[in-house]
Amino acid sequence: MSLSALSQFKLSSMSGDNARAVRVSAQDRSTGQDIQLEYLKQKTVGSGTFGVVYKAKLIPSNEVVAIKEVLQDNRYKNRELQILRSLDHPNICVLRAHFYRYEDDAKKFSKRSKKDKTYLNLVMDYMPETMYSVCQRYSKSKQRMPMLAIKLYMYQLFRSLAYCHHLGICHRDIKLYNILVDPNTGVLKLCDFGSAKPLVEGESNVAYICSRYYRAPELIFGATMYTTTIDIWSAGCVMGELLSGRPLFPGKSSIDQLVEIIKVLGTPTKLQIERMNPSYIAQKLPKVDPKPLSKLFRSSTPQDALDLLTQLLQYDPDKRLTAIEAMTHPFFNELRSSPGAVSSSSSSSSSSSTSTSPSIPTPTTSKLSTKAITDVNGLPVSTPTDTTQHPWPPLFNFTKEELMIRPDLKSKLVPHDNYFTLDS
């Protein structure tokens, strides 16, 4: 469904058991035109200091969308709307439209609302689960995520980052909660660009950014001239968590976070600290030898997975792989060489793809009661006993813009069977 098609629909909303349609004036993301939308709020699916996220349905299509409502605070610069307007990628939660609600309409969200309060509402793609909820499902069933699932998810995460970084946008809050997935289709979408920022060379940025477990060491050392490589470190932490089933560096404070990193990577050298933050005033750190990453994971963990992780979790930001380089790593060769690689470049509705593509792995044992299995919204999702087979999501439907990020890597990035089918 195209973004401009929003103007043909009404947004649909439910508060508890009582349906109450609300009509708002919105702006269509694709056309920039003012449109009238009617929505029926279904359920609050997330909340925090940023605001609230809820589900809604497009009528008459009944397509489910997510609406993120954020209080506009003049003390802080909100770049999210501007950034989302510039993003259009299959692995990013795309903005459909936006509208504003004012204090009279938003009283229910804050009893202490003042007359001048304004709420920005972002209408976006809806996804049934977060990566966190998927990991919890595996953990509760005493399973580890299958390696193929890790490859599918990490590949799509790197693809979303390659696109953002090419545009100069740093997400600055990569973590399991901000990675949305549909376990039935295998599709992954990066969300929550509330902390994102277009980075400008030579321009200072705030160092206290990114959730602690996923915070790059240069941020802990107080760097303000960092680059998009902080997202690469965070992605490495996500990958480590998918492999082990637990956070890789579970620090209890900012200093303890550095301690947890040093326990694994060893004490950074003077040169490495200088590469992370040239302005850092050196303090004596305890001498700790690095620990082989293989000690942190199952003995069955593939060597190419450990090699990729090693190249992501480097103290020196410049020595980390870029997102597009990570996509070409041998760890993902299975995706390029399997039958699924052929079908994923074409329409997902292709009749041949269902029969030839490997299926998306999900928990399959009966150790976990199906009663406990719901998505992040408390809604039923596929259970460990669900044996429905699903083909892979599109992985190689690259645009010209994506292929121009690193033209020299095209032969490694694109499966041979797809090479001449791309828009080139």
SS (H, E, C) 92-141: ECCEEEEEEEEHHHHHHHCCCCCCCCEEEEEEEECCCEEHHHHHHHHHHC
* Contact by Cβ (8 Å): 210, 226: no
Q: What angle do CA 393, 398, 399 make, to 5 degrees?
A: 135
Distance CA 288, CA 353 (A): 51
- The number of angstroms, rounded, from the C-alpha of 173 to the middle of its chain's C-alpha atoms is 9
Tokens of 330: 């041998």
* pLDDT value, residue 359: 56
Q: How many helices (H) and strands (E) does the chain have?
A: 15, 15
The predicted structure's pLDDT at residue 338: 75
Task: Give the integer Cα–Cα distance in Å for 22 and 45.
Answer: 19
Pairing relation of β-strands 95-102 and 179-182? unpaired
**Binding-site residue set for ATP:** 68
Question: In angstroms, rounded to a whole number, what is the distance separating the alpha carbons of residues 333 and 312?
Answer: 18
Q: What whole-number distance in Å separates Cα of residue 289 and Cα of residue 347?
A: 50
pLDDT at 7: 44
Residue among 233, 210, 211 nearest 314 (CA): 233
Report the CATH fold assignment for 25-125.
Answer: Phosphorylase Kinase; domain 1 (3.30.200)
Is residue 343 a contact partner of residue 353, using CB atoms and an 8 Å limit? yes
Beta-ladder partners of 64: 57
pLDDT, one tens digit for every residue, the chain (424 residues): 444 444 444 444 444 434 577 788 889 988 889 988 888 888 888 887 778 999 998 776 778 899 999 998 877 778 999 999 999 999 999 999 999 988 764 455 555 455 568 999 999 999 999 999 999 999 999 999 999 999 999 999 999 999 999 999 999 999 999 999 999 999 999 999 999 999 999 999 999 999 999 999 999 999 999 999 999 999 999 999 999 999 999 999 999 999 999 999 999 999 999 999 999 987 888 899 999 999 999 999 999 999 999 999 999 999 999 999 999 999 999 999 875 554 343 333 333 333 344 556 655 433 333 333 333 333 333 333 343 456 889 999 999 999 999 999 999 999 876 654 444 4
- Measured from the Cβ of residue 283, the count of other Cβ atoms closer than 10 Å reads 6
Model pLDDT, residue 363: 52
Query: What amino acid occupies position 312?
Result: L
Domain boundaries, the chain: 25-125
Tell which residue, 48, 43, 50, has the closest CA to residue 65: 43
Q: Is the pTM of this model over 0.75?
A: yes
Residues tagged in the binding site annotation: 68
Residue 358 has a pLDDT of 52
Which of the residues 28, 88, 104, 173 is marked catalytic?
173
Residue 67 burial (C-beta neighbours within 10 Å; 0-12, 13-18, 19+): buried
Q: Would you call 304 a catalytic residue per the annotation? A: no
Residues with Cβ within 8 Å of residue 77, at least 6 apart in sequence: none
Q: For residue 383, how many other CB atoms are within 10 A of its CB?
A: 20
